[in-house]
A and B are shown apart, each in its own frame.
Chain A
């Protein structure tokens, strides 16, 4: 083994720690009473997680209306409108509830019927190049269209939704998109027709001529684009952790130590160190928004092809992609889609890394809602079981029971602080009025 001279001190430190460990009783359960002393390297990593280092929103090249206020306001109305469903009872907010950080507290969402996946939070969602747990949408506007046509979620069809826009949102639509030509084309079209509807709806869709289908698709895409403009306004607010980082940066240790307890700080040290959580949960949103097999899928839950393997197959298809007919982007704007990883064993049963912002109040966890508590989540990563499908990326962690508690304590510091001024985007438009 070749070891550089400067590393001998590290080796001796480890030996010293081992001797110290031997001198303690076997049932040691000391909870930290003193905060850790951070190294410069640790401080760099800690700062990289601060919300104050959040970059500007990425451009949504496929949606030219993404940053227009009028589009966001229309999108907010659509987000909360139950008329955009087959039974008139389901809106996006039925599962993405503002008062629950845009989740629903359930293991798996329930729209028209129960679905297979846990409802993801929407806070900071516009930063992800991929949407859904398996990334089968490459933009927020495309994502919004998926649940609308899913029989177990909103359960409606494209013409149904286009008729709702023509009837109830004509002026707002004209204001945002500058035309009502495609709404005018709807007059004689079936009340409910679409490629993902039931047999009657599918037949009706196929009997429409191409121009009519195009007009409906345009309205449908624009519904998604307004919804994206709205969801881009759902931005994370600072947490106690962010204040702590700010205090560290200002060299105010007393303020820092008043913000985070010793256990929470030691949990942070584990998060960026021995537990290696920042491997995937990195950056200010504590997510790389990529796909990983962490042995979550269970044998009775999915088939082999679920997860990113299926998601990447789906995201490359269809008229609503960045490269599709209804995109506003040039091909060179669609770099994520053009260079998407679409082969490899790592895609099997891999699911998107969620943000950890507000994680302590958005239980249950994982794409299937498998775990009801953060304690269960941390224990899963410590034991690192094998994956039922494919190969798990996890390795067992040397993190004892007390340290697991410290990790959970740290995760609680990522909850947003209450807003100083009410955020109108975090409520239904009627509630905000």
Chain B
């Protein structure tokens, strides 16, 4: 029986490893974030990090472009932001905030820093007075200094 334990353990580890790998492959890299629609389809968000590539432990910001279902720029939106590493059960290492940018529908997400490699999540609650919706971004951050 004792000899079966490593076998069962390896099978469990293989299952976990395969799921982890599949997950990382399923999410975009932070440097190539696709345009994302909010959960009810009210908004569309494009995000571009100021650092290319994003480095671990480096403070930076993202430029956001918010449009509605008619592809019109959404100004005057207010945001709540939260997030973390869902696989590790902890939140963001900073308290980022979103402020208006220079162009219609443009915003700046300030105060981002990722301190670990892996899958990260940002959850946004968006409200422009007339409409509101939630939006989730899941993406992979890697340590790129070794590339």
Binding site for B on A (CB under 8 A): 1-4, 7, 10-11, 13-15, 17-19, 21-22, 26, 43-50, 53, 55, 129, 278-280, 282-284, 288-290, 335-336, 338-344, 346, 393, 398
Contact = CB atoms under 8 A, between A and B. Distances in A.
Given A336-B94, A336-B113, 10 more contacts: A4-B25, A14-B14, A22-B7, A45-B143, A282-B143, A288-B116, A335-B110, A341-B91, A341-B93, A341-B94
Given A335-B110, A340-B94, A48 B146 contact: yes
B143 A48 contact: yes
Interface string B136-147: 000000111111
B71 to A, nearest CB: 31
A335 B91 contact: no
Interface of B: 2-4, 6-7, 9-11, 13-15, 17-19, 21-22, 25, 55-57, 59, 88, 90-97, 110-111, 113, 115-117, 142-147
B14 A335 contact: no
Contacts of B142: 44
A19 B8 CA distance: 10
Nearest to A7: B18
The 4 closest A-B pairs by CB, nearest first: A339-B111, A47-B146, A18-B10, A48-B146
Nearest to A287: B57
A283 B145 contact: yes
B61 to A, nearest CB: 8
Contacts of B19: 1
B95 A340 contact: yes
B76 to A, nearest CB: 23
A48 B21 CA distance: 20
A15 B10 contact: yes
Nearest to A312: B95
B11 A280 contact: no
Given A48-B145, A283-B145, A341 B6 contact: no
A336 B110 CA distance: 10
A272 to B, nearest CB: 10
A198 B13 CA distance: 59
Contacts of B146: 43-50, 53
25 contacts: A1-B18, A4-B18, A4-B25, A10-B17, A11-B14, A15-B10, A18-B10, A22-B7, A45-B117, A46-B146, A47-B145, A47-B146, A55-B55, A282-B56, A283-B143, A288-B56, A288-B115, A289-B57, A336-B59, A339-B95, A339-B110, A340-B95, A341-B92, A343-B95, A346-B90
B54 to A, nearest CB: 13
Contacts of B2: 26
Given A53-B146, A346-B90, A393-B88, A3 B7 contact: no
Contact of B57 (A11, A14, A283, A344): A283
A129 B93 CA distance: 13
Question: Which of A14, A44, A336 lies at the interface centre, i.e. has the most chain B CB atoms within 10 A of its CB?
Answer: A14
Nearest to B15: A1
Contacts of A47: 145-147
Contacts of B25: 4
